[in-house]
Structures are given as C-alpha cells and as structure tokens.
Amino acid sequence: MKNVLVTGADGFIGSHLVDLLVSKGLKVRALSQYNSFNNWGWLEDVKCLNEIEVVSGDVRDPFYCKEIMQDVDCVFHLAALIAIPYSYTAPQSYVETNVTGTLNICQAAKELGGIRVIHTSTSEVYGTAQYVPIDEKHPLQPQSPYSASKIGADAMAISYFNAFELPLTIARPFNTYGPRQSARAVIPTIISQIANGAKEIKLGDVSPTRDFNYVTDTCRGFIELANCSDAVGKTVNIGSNYEISVGDTLNLIKDLMKSDVTFITEDQRLRPEKSEVFRLWCDNSLINQLTGFKPEFFIEDGLRETITWFLNPENLKKYKSDIYNT
C-alpha cells in the first residue's frame, strides 16, 4: 500500500485509522460525509490534517465512489450508519448507506481494478452468542435493522470476491471505544456525564457482556489485515478475547474517575427484548494466526486514555451529555 482511501474517515474509528496510516508513511485520501457547513467531523481534530487529502461526498452515490477511488491501492470502507436505536426509527436509511454504499465501493473497485478492499463489519451481526468465544463460523442473527443492514453489506462485499475475485477482506471488529467516540455508546456516555458533574446517570440494561477494544488496537487490526494476502476472501474478527459486563465496565470507570455517581435504569434506553444482544465475546485466534495480531491495551489502560481525553475541557464541550443521544 502507498495510496489509500478511508471512507467514514470523519467518524470515530475512521479518524484514528487516518492518524495511524499517516504515521506509517501512507498517502491518505479521507472521505467525510458531505454537508453544507463544510465540517469534516473528527478529521478536524486529527494531528495529520495538513498531511491528508480530505474529500466530501456520500457513498450512496456510485459515480462519486468511482471518482474518489482513482489512483488508490487500498480502500478501508468504514462509512456506515451505526446507531442501533436510530435504526428502529429509520431502517431504510441504513439499507441505503450500509448495503448500497458497500455495493458502490465494491463495484468501483472492480471497475478500476487492482484495489484491495477492507470492508468493515460489526460483532452485532452475531447477535446474542450461541457459544463463546465467538469465532467467524458463528451463525448470523439480525436482531436489529442495523445488524440486518450490516449482514446484507457483508454479503454484498464477499459476493464480489466470489463472483469477481475482488481482493477483499471483511474486518469484523467487536466493541471499540476510545477518544472521539459518539455519546450514543455507553462508555463515552458515562465518562462525559461524570466529567460534567452528574450525580445520577440514566442507563439501559447493564447486564449484557461485551468484548471491549481500544480504538488503536482496532485500527492496528485493520492495517494488519490489509497487509496480509492470506486474509483475502476471509471474514476476520478483531477483538481481545476478553469478556466483561457493561455494569462492571461502568463501575470500573466510576472507580478510575473517583466518582460516587449512581446508575438508574431508564425505559427509553432499553432495547426491545428480542433485539438486545446479551453476550459478545470474541475469538481472535484467526487474526492472530494470519497476522500475529494481539491487542496491546488492557481495558483499564484504554479506559484511562479515554478518560484523560474526555477530561480536557476542549474535548468535553463537544458533547451534549445531558441529553439521550440515539
């Protein structure tokens, strides 16, 4: 790889991936979703902003996808709608962005030729674990419109490998957290509210378990897969092989921030019963076998880094911690 495109570069994981790619000497074109404010999302905060080419557009447009993929060796396709609660309200938009957007990226890569594609999946496609740890052979269970759209996007992506030999890998990260994450996710919700002095925090169900991964480790996994020819045509988990409940995670944050906050369950934050994913625990043996990848951040280390970032007033003021972010 020399020249790469990152779609969804204005988002949480995408912006960190851009930083890491530039640090490794790659020339990066970064796609930010078009808006009339000319705002580039979290790309506004990356250290390497003067070293990258930022383009604004939408993966739902096939002509635009082909245009921005000119002269790149690899595309990291992260652009997606990701919030589960909003997918209950606006499911069609998830299909248009996640499935059709993936189709457009794959078709452009096919037509242009010679482009390596790393397509981003999600552990949500597994649904509640039928067995643990979850390997890549685990059944897929669409428990929300969001997860259904990502299952469709994954299927579209791998079909281009099977039908057209497109050099594509599906990277399937488990629950990523860290600086710049949206307040729709539980870890930044808790940290930002405690940092703003809240004494009571409203939450949904805290009994589910997750395999939390610090964002730098997730981005390292993407790059390792892009550099691995044996990963072509495969779906590969990126995770820590470590399970912790949401409740225990919140108490860990509380202890690290030396807070006496209390947690309260609020009905509007609960998923419909059949839509809640109660257990996610990653089997990361395949990525280790393919690339030697191992996570470098234990959860306490990653949470400390995340808390430090949120405690910076310039970062904290970007969050509306007093409202429920879907």
pLDDT in tens, 242-288: 999 999 999 999 999 999 999 887 777 777 889 999 999 999 999 99
Examine the domain organization and report whether 119 and 253 are in the same domain.
no
* In-domain check, residue 323: no
User: Is there a cis peptide before residue 133, judged by omega within 30 degrees of 0?
Assistant: yes
What per-residue confidence (pLDDT) applies to 141?
98
Co-location of 115 and 162 in the same domain: yes
Q: Could you tell me if 186 and 172 lie in one domain?
A: no
Nearest to 182 by CA among 173, 191, 170, 174: 191
Helices (H) and strands (E) in the chain, counts: 12, 13
Residue 125 banded pLDDT, cuts 50, 70, 90: very high
* Chain mean pLDDT for the chain: 96
Kindly state whether residues 191 and 201 are assigned to the same domain. Answer: yes
What is the structure's pLDDT at 99?
A: 98
Is pLDDT at 157 greater than 80 in this prediction?
yes
How many domains in the chain?
Answer: 2
- Residue 321, in any domain of the structure: no
- Give the tens place of pLDDT for each residue, 29-43: 999 999 999 999 999
72 pLDDT tier (thresholds 50, 70, 90): very high
Question: Is a pLDDT exceeding 80 seen at residue 324?
Answer: no
65-74, 160-169, 173-182, 262-271: which range is least confident on average?
A: 262-271
Please tell me the predicted confidence (pLDDT) of residue 21: 98
Same domain for 270 and 130: no
Give residue 322's pLDDT: 76
Average pLDDT over residues 48-69: 98
Same domain for 23 and 113, yes or no, is yes
Q: Is residue 291 part of a domain?
A: no
- For 228-256, letters b (16+ CB in 10 Å) and e give beebeebbbbbbbbbbbebeebbeebbee
Quick: pLDDT tens for 191-226: 999 999 999 988 888 899 999 999 999 999 999 999
183-206 burial, b for 16+ CB within 10 Å, e for fewer? bebbbbbbbbbbbeebeebebbee
Same domain, 61 and 188: no
Is residue 272 a part of any domain in this protein? yes
Q: What are phi and psi of 201, to 5 degrees?
A: -125, 125
Residues forming beta bridges with residue 176, ordered by sequence position: 213
pLDDT digits (tens, 9 = 90+) for 309-322: 999 999 999 998 77
pLDDT at position 281 is 98
Average pLDDT over residues 120-128: 98
pLDDT tens-digit map of 225-247: 999 999 999 999 999 999 999 99
CATH number at 307 reads: 3.90.25.10
The reported pLDDT for the residue numbered 263 is: 86
In whole angstroms, give the CA distance from residue 54 to residue 56.
Answer: 7
- Is residue 136 situated within a structural domain? yes
287 lies in some domain: no
- Whether 25 has a pLDDT exceeding 80, the answer reads yes
**Percentage of residues in the chain having pLDDT higher than 70:** 100
3-state secondary structure (DSSP) of residue 53: strand
Predicted TM-score (pTM) of this structure: 0.96
**CATH code, domain carrying 29:** 3.40.50.720
Residue 307 belongs to what domain range?
A: 180-210+242-280+298-316
Q: Does the pLDDT at position 325 exceed 90?
A: no
Does a structural domain hold residue 292?
no
Segment 73-85 mean pLDDT:
96
